[in-house]
Amino acid sequence: MSITQTLPANGSDCAPVLNKGVLRERGQREVFCGLTGIVWLHRKMQDAFFLVVGSRTCAHLLQSAAGVMIFAEPRFATAIIEERDLAGMADCHDELDRIVDKLLTRRPEIKTLFLVGSCPSEVIKMDLAKAAQRLGTEYAGQTRILNYSGSGIETTFTEGEDACLATLVPEMPVARPDAAQELLIVGALPDIVEDQFLRLFAELGIEPVHCLPARRACDLPSVGPNTRYLLAQPFLTETALALEDRGAQRLDALFPFGAEGTTAWLRAAADAFGVDEMHFNRVVAPGRERAKRAIAHSRERLEGKRITFLPDSQLEVPLARFLATEAGMIPVEVGTPYLHRQHTARELELLPESTRISEGQDVDKQLDRVREDKPDLTVCGLGLANPLESEGFTTKWAIELVFSPIHGFEQAGDLAELFARPLRRRDVLRV
Ligand code: SF4
């Protein structure tokens, strides 16, 4: 095994199944694997390190997606499983212990080390849970060592973040049974967006408010029956289950995209914490109005345009709701890798009746539907964008929606603009 400073996974087969108005497909899919989450998680968790136990392909994916950090000490790396590891000529666990030892001796400031599983570590059935336990005992008091899978066999694009946060939940301290009600924002947000939300909650008089993930490991918040949590991202199924196992209760809300989504998200917390309606309106109105004005700049370009989302990040349903209700777009098909009906129930209610919802993917059939529907804009992964553009379709890379700050009032205009830009480019090229 050697260390270095990452491609997509494909799935299986079968015919589409219509399930209560949702087209369910289980065929070949074109989605990045869960390792991709490391790109934004390593920036967010400033004293954590992500050690992927994988192949050179995993290393290339990570390096090209995250860019090369020249001046900073990196916070992720790949322990490469070499041929001799695969051939059973070396004990992978000994090799991993040696790498972790080297890393933590040189970088004692690492407070949480994630051992991240990949397709190769799964194929050779390397038990990373056991490794994390063994190493965790050895480095107790210095570094918390956890593991999760980012493998393309088990996870898609944003599920890596879900798996990572779910491993943190059992590490959260137990809240005192008589503790006052606390709010927990769940999901990695860019610091600037997180700070905006924290300011708004402070103005509303809601406190204390914590975030998962916390920026530093030592700030991992406590959790218990008095915890009320708001999901900032729609792809955190396992994390939500783990929190509920610890007694936390989810506040049901729209996701904070656009003026209305953000207002509804804040309102769910305000209602749970007994904030007076007039005070809520006083605090929220300026941001909401700014967001509406910013969205209006793009509305002319978006209104009446038909849009299709191919399944990618699980952000598709709330984004389609935002575009339909606040920008006047017509979602034709909204595809998502997995549909959490409970978490997205309010979003689904606001989509037009005519919108086709699909879960999972059978890429050839889905592309046939795009050709038949002829949407004005198709949101899809990198691998499908170029072929579709060559057929004359206008596309938007779904990955940009994950890497750009798009939550909250102040980002609502930029979010609308992300969809308006490809349509503007198309119109310019046509002229
Ligand atoms: S985890 Fe699997 S799908 Fe992801 S980069 Fe590594 S080999 Fe490819």
Provide the pLDDT for residue 90: 62
Provide the pLDDT for residue 67: 66
pLDDT digits (tens, 9 = 90+) for 176-210: 988 899 999 999 999 999 999 999 999 999 999 99
Give the residue with greater pLDDT, 388 vs 30.
388
Q: What does each C-alpha distance from 170 to 166, 173, 222 come to in angstroms?
A: 8, 8, 10
At position 93, the amino acid (one-letter code) is: H
Kindly tell me if the per-residue pLDDT of 88 is higher than 70. Answer: no
Residues with CB under 6 A from ligand 1: 6-9, 33, 35, 54-55, 57-58, 61, 118-119, 150-152
**Cα of 332 from ligand 1 centre, angstroms:** 31
Rg from Cα positions in the chain: 22
Nearest CA to ligand 1 atom 6: 58
**Cα of 173 from ligand 1 centre, angstroms:** 33
**Which atom from ligand 1 is nearest to the alpha carbon of 9?**
3
pLDDT digits (tens, 9 = 90+) for 270-319: 999 999 999 999 999 999 999 999 999 999 999 999 999 999 999 999 99
The DSSP symbol for 306 reads E
Q: Environment class of residue 88 by beta-carbon count within 10 Å: exposed (0-12), middle (13-18) or buried (19+)?
A: exposed
* pTM for this predicted structure: 0.92
Give the residue with greater pLDDT, 121 vs 309.
309
CA distance 339 to 40: 23
Q: Where are the domains of the chain?
A: 2-155, 182-280, 291-430
Give the fold, CATH level 3, of 182-280: Rossmann fold (3.40.50)
**Cα of 315 from ligand 1 centre, angstroms:** 22
CA distance 101 to 99: 5
**380 annotated ligand-binding residue:** no
Nearest CA to ligand 1 atom 7: 119
* Residue among 29, 51, 52, 57 to mutate when testing ligand 1 (max atoms within 8 A of CB): 57
Provide the pLDDT for residue 80: 87
Nearest CA to ligand 1 atom 8: 7
CA distance 265 to 425: 33
Kindly tell me if the per-residue pLDDT of 427 is higher than 90. Answer: no
**Which atom from ligand 1 is nearest to the alpha carbon of 62?**
5
**Cα of 157 from ligand 1 centre, angstroms:** 11
**Please, what is the average pLDDT of the chain?**
90
426 band by pLDDT with thresholds 50, 70 and 90: confident
Provide the pLDDT for residue 2: 52
Helix (H) or strand (E) holding 217: none
**Which atom from ligand 1 is nearest to the alpha carbon of 8?**
3
Phi, psi dihedrals of residue 53, rounded to the nearest 5°: -100, 95
**Cα of 160 from ligand 1 centre, angstroms:** 12
Using an 8 Å Cβ cutoff, are 320 and 309 in contact? yes
Kindly tell me if the per-residue pLDDT of 340 is higher than 50. Answer: yes
Token representation of residue 82: 């070499």
**Cα of 183 from ligand 1 centre, angstroms:** 36
Kindly tell me if the per-residue pLDDT of 7 is higher than 60. Answer: no
Q: For the chain, what percent of residues have pLDDT higher than 90?
A: 75
Using an 8 Å Cβ cutoff, are 26 and 49 in contact? no
Q: Which residues pair with 336 in a beta bridge?
A: 359
**2-155 shares its CATH topology with 291-430:** yes
**Which atom from ligand 1 is nearest to the alpha carbon of 120?**
7
Kindly tell me if the per-residue pLDDT of 26 is higher than 80. Answer: yes
Give the fold, CATH level 3, of 291-430: Rossmann fold (3.40.50)
**Cα of 6 from ligand 1 centre, angstroms:** 7
Give the residue with greater pLDDT, 32 vs 37.
37
Give the residue with greater pLDDT, 406 vs 383.
406
* Residue among 4, 7, 31 to mutate when testing ligand 1 (max atoms within 8 A of CB): 7
**Which atom from ligand 1 is nearest to the alpha carbon of 119?**
2
* 31-40, 88-97, 195-204, 275-284: least confident range: 88-97
Residues 6+ apart with CB under 8 A from 376: 305, 306, 307, 394, 423
**33 annotated ligand-binding residue:** yes
Question: What superfamily would CATH give domain 2-155?
Answer: Nitrogenase molybdenum iron protein domain (3.40.50.1980)
**Cα of 58 from ligand 1 centre, angstroms:** 5
Give the residue with greater pLDDT, 232 vs 89.
232
